[in-house]
Structure formats: C-alpha cells, structure tokens
Amino acid sequence: MQEQNIKSGSFKTVISSEHHLFDLHIRETFQYRDLIFLFVKRDFNAKYKQTILGPLWAIIQPLLTTVVFTVIFGNLAKLTTADVPEEHIMPGFLFYMAGNICWSYFSSTLQATSDTFIVNRFTMGKVYYPRLAAPISTAFSNLISYGIQLAMFMAFWMISFFKDGADISVTPAMALLPLLVVQMMMLAVGFGIIISSVTTKYRDLAMLVGFGLQLWHYGCPVAYGLQLVPEKWMSLYMLNPMSSIITTFRYAAFGFGYFNLGYYLISWGVTLLVFFTGLVMFSRIERTFMDTI
C-alpha cells in the first residue's frame, strides 16, 4: 500500500501490487495502532472467555510447572541450578520460575504468530489493514499474561529477599530486564512470521512447530544451570539466543550468575537478523498468500 498526498475529494489510500524488497510497512502499521489495541483486547478476552478463573490461569500454569520442575529436576534428579561455580545460595524455586516464565512467553508468542495467515485468512481476505498488525497484537496480548507472571515472580523474589536469607540482591543489572522482554518479543515474532510465511505453501511445517519447541526447550537452561554444559560445547550452546536471554534474566534478577557480554551481543545479532528476515519474508508473502492458503 502506498499513501499519497493528493487533492481533496480523492482517495487518500491507494492499494497497489507494486512493492519494493524492503517495503516493510512499518510506518503504516504504526498508524493502525488503534486496530492493534483492539486486536490485543480481543485476543486477551478470547483467551480467558468462559473460564472460571480467568487471568488467574496466567499464574496457575507457570506456578504448577515450577513446582513440577522443582520436585523432578531439583529434588529427584538433583540437577545443578548453578550458572557459575560460586558459593551463592540459589533459590531453586525462583531459578525454575525465572526460566519458565521467559520460555512460556517466547514459546506461546512464537506458536501463535506462526499461525498468523491461517487463523486470520478470512478477515484478511475481506478487509484491508497492515497484515503485520496481527502478529504484533499477538505478541502484546501475550505480554499481558507475561506481566502477570512477572509480578508473581517478583512477589516470590521479595519473600526470598526479606525472609529466606538467600544471596539475591538488587544490582544495576536489573535495568536489563525490560531490554530482555523486548528481545524475547522480537525473537518470537521474527521466528513466528518466518514460519507463517512458509506454511502458506507447506503446511507440514505447522505440524512440527510444537514438537520443535519442545526440543528447543531442552536446549535452553530452564531445568538446569549452565554448569551442566561442558565447556567445550559452551560456544555452540550459547549461539541459541534464548540461552543468553534466560541466563541474563537470572543474572539481572538475582544479582549473580552468568553474564557474558560477547554472547549477549551475539544473541542480539541473531535476534535482529531473525526479526528483519521475518519482516522481509512476511512482506513478500502477504501479497499472494490468499492464492495459496
């Protein structure tokens, strides 16, 4: 779509099939922010509609998952929760909760955005709006649930800080937390719209998303600390951007742990590459997806 300043009485918006490679519609999408807000409201209400507990499920699910991880991986398997060999008291329950809420937001957003064209094909076939508004609204609607989960995490963090005698502390690294949320959002949306662009022709990939996320989950330090990863594999392991995000989140939240600036910058490089590649693919596919979906 191209917007042109033309004389009064004429159309203000012209929809054209002519697109440049890097015509990503970022400015146009921002102009439709009211529509994005409506989509966010719709998605959030639909998610908890006709449920007895409503948004409390955003707390119950990660809380139960954290309890299971604490019992299975912490008490029975006795996997280490140490990211570095230091003599700090790592609260096991908080360790697992930190990883779970980060992974939950990333995986749910990626899985939802990977179905963008399929889920919204009827609306997109009848009404014009920037197609990028759909995956962005999904990311923000999931962000509401993540905000609830983060508030729960901070409540347990304060209990450990004031009563349990854990070594956690407030440090300037906490300023990284908002940046990590933005990075998770960009990474999830980037991978999601890449998958949604490919699945317009190859539906098989949609079947593999859930399975792939399960495997990816085990490749992230959610159920174990980095000390479990052999040193010779560390460089390869940290190429996974979610590994750096999760360890940095724990470092920022607890005031100690593992933080490597080089790996963190690499994770940002991968995130930006995935996000930009997704935008380009999404922009190209949105023009013809109704013919193939």
Phi, psi (degrees; rounded to nearest 5) at 133: -65, -30
Query: Is the separation of the CB atoms in 240 and 95 below 8 Å?
Result: no
Tell me if 86 sits within 8 A of 256, measured CB to CB: yes
**Among the listed ranges 115-129, 149-163, 231-245, which one has the minimum average pLDDT value?**
115-129
Q: How confident is the model at residue 293 (pLDDT cuts 50, 70, 90)?
A: low
**CA 193, CA 188: separation in Å to the nearest integer?**
9
38 in a structural domain: yes
Indicate the number of domains in the chain: 1
Instruction: Please report whether residue 17 resides in a domain.
Output: no
Mean pLDDT of 160-179: 85
> Are 188 and 106 in contact, with CB atoms under 8 Å apart?
yes
Domain-located, residue 237: yes
Residue 93 burial (CB count, 10 A): 18
> In this predicted structure, what is the pLDDT of residue 236?
93
Give a yes or no: residue 2 inside a domain. no
Nearest to residue 283, comparing CAs of 4, 19, 15?
19
Residue 180 resides in a domain: yes
User: Each residue of 176-226: pLDDT tens digit?
Assistant: 999 999 999 999 999 999 988 888 777 767 778 888 999 999 999 999 999
DSSP string, 132-178: THHHHHHHHHHHHHHHHHHHHHHHHHHHIIIII-------GGGGHHH
User: Percentage of residues in the chain with pLDDT exceeding 70?
Assistant: 87
Q: Nearest to residue 241, comparing CAs of 207, 279, 272, 281? A: 272
pLDDT given for residue 237 in this prediction: 94
Average pLDDT for 106-126:
82
Gap between the Cα atoms of 248 and 258, Å rounded = 7
Q: Is residue 90 part of a domain?
A: yes
Q: For the ranges 81-85, 250-254, 261-265, which has the lowest average pLDDT?
A: 81-85
Q: How confident is the model at residue 16 (pLDDT cuts 50, 70, 90)?
A: low
195 in a domain, yes or no?
A: yes
Residue 9 lies in a domain: no
90: domain range? Answer: 24-292
- Strands (E) across the chain are located at 2-3, 13-14
235: nearest Cα among 215, 214, 263, 261: 263
Tokens standing for 191?
């991978």
Q: Which of 65, 54, 57, 99 minimizes the C-alpha distance to 81?
A: 99
Can you read off the two tokens belonging to residue 53? 């507990």
What's the pLDDT band for 21 if we cut at 50, 70, 90?
A: low
